[in-house]
C-alpha cells in the first residue's frame, strides 16, 4: 500500500508540473507581447535514447527589453535543430508581461507543448501504477 501511495504522490507532482507549464503556455498565447530579442547563446544537442528515439534539442538564450524598459535574459528549448540561429542574430519572440522570462519564439507553436505532453503522460502512467499497486495490496 505504501508503494501505491508513493506512485500516487508522483502522479500528483507530475500533474501539477504539467498544469503549471500549460498555464505558462496559455498566458504567453493569450497575453503575450512581441519583442525583438538578440540571441546570446545557442546550445544545440543531439539526443539519442536507447529505446529508439533520436532527435535534436536546442536551447536558445536571448536578451530583450520589456515594456518597462528592463533588460530581460531568458531562454526557450526547441525540440529541433537550431535552423540557422546564431549568437548575435535578432529574432522575434513573444513573452508574458507578468513573467518576462516565460518566452516562446514568435510565428510558431510554443515548443513547450511537447514537454507538457510527456509530463502529463508520465502522470497518467504513475496514476495507473498507483491504482495497480493499490489493487494488488487489497487482493491476495
Domain range for 122 is 2-138
Q: Give 77-87 pLDDT, tens digit per residue.
A: 888 888 888 99
Average pLDDT over every residue of 61-70: 94
pTM here is 0.76
| Structural domains counted in the chain | 1
The b/e string for 90-117 (b: 16+ C-beta within 10 A; e otherwise) is ebebbbbeeebebbbbeeeebbbeebbe
* Cell numbers linked to 8: 500516487
Q: Give 88-122 pLDDT, tens digit per residue.
A: 999 999 999 999 999 998 877 788 888 899 999 99
Amino acid at each position: 500500500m505504501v508503494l501505491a501511495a508513493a506512485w500516487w504522490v508522483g502522479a500528483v507532482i507530475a500533474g501539477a508540473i504539467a498544469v503549471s507549464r500549460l498555464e505558462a503556455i496559455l498566458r504567453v498565447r493569450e497575453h503575450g507581447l512581441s519583442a525583438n530579442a538578440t540571441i546570446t547563446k545557442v546550445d544545440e544537442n543531439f539526443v539519442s535514447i536507447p529505446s529508439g528515439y533520436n532527435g535534436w534539442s536546442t536551447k536558445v538564450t536571448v536578451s530583450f527589453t520589456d515594456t518597462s524598459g528592463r533588460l530581460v535574459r531568458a531562454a526557450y528549448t526547441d525540440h529541433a535543430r537550431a535552423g540557422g540561429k546564431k549568437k548575435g542574430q535578432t529574432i522575434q519572440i513573444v513573452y508574458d508581461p507578468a513573467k518576462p522570462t516565460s518566452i516562446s519564439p514568435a510565428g510558431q507553436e510554443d515548443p513547450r507543448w511537447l514537454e507538457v505532453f510527456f509530463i502529463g503522460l508520465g502522470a497518467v502512467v504513475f496514476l495507473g501504477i498507483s491504482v495497480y499497486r493499490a489493487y494488488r495490496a487489497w487482493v491476495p
